Amino acid sequence: MTASRTLWGVLAFCVAAIAAAGDAKSNAGWDRMKSLVGRWEGTAEGHPVSLTYKLVSNGTTLMETMDMPGESEAMITMYHPDGGDLVATHYCAVGNQPRLRLRSAGDPGMLDFAFVDATNVSESSGEIMQRLVVTFQDADHFQQTWTAKKDGKSSSSNFTYTRKK
């Protein structure tokens, strides 16, 4: 009986490991985002901005820290896989936390995240991020386009980055 339990335990472990490996291989968006680990310098609408990407929580989450000169606090966006999907939670300077889900990773050069929901939102909070498009040019250059909605109107901001070596 003990040998039988051990065999079933080993089989269960192998099946779980194969399933986990399959999920990792099928999440191209997560793999692409992890390639950003490091420091980046860039511009947003003509103003300097810097990003730092760091894997945290035992490599299960990617933390993006955005610093803009003149701003007292950095903004944080956390990216993590959710099964075969990819989710981003943006901790915005306006005080809300929109969650975005990757629409499709079909184009390896572009990741398009769409609004799912948000926390800490009130009638008076106003602006909420609705979309993030990350466009990869090469290993050392990429762009972000953030789209927010306020008072029923959408506006986008473009950010261009170069890897800091």
What one-character-per-residue DSSP string does 92-158 give?
Answer: -TTS-EEEEEEEE--STTEEEEEEEEEES--TTT--EEEEEEEEEEETTEEEEEEEEEETTEEEEEE
Q: Which residues contact 3 (CB under 8 A, 6 or more apart)?
A: none
**Over its length of 165 residues, how does the chain's per-residue pLDDT go in tens digits?**
555 555 454 444 443 444 444 444 578 999 999 999 999 999 998 899 999 999 999 999 999 999 988 777 899 999 999 988 999 999 998 889 999 999 975 677 999 999 999 998 875 457 899 999 999 999 999 999 999 999 889 999 999 999 998
Going by C-alpha positions, the residue among 111, 114, 151 that lies closest to residue 135 is 111
CATH node for 28-163: 2.40.128.20
pLDDT at position 39 is 98
Q: Give the per-residue pLDDT at 14.
A: 41
What was the pLDDT predicted at 52? Answer: 98
Q: Which of 80, 83, 35, 88 minimizes the C-alpha distance to 58?
A: 80
Report CA 85 to chain centroid distance, whole Å. 11
Q: Do the Cβ atoms of 54 and 66 come closer than 8 Å? A: no
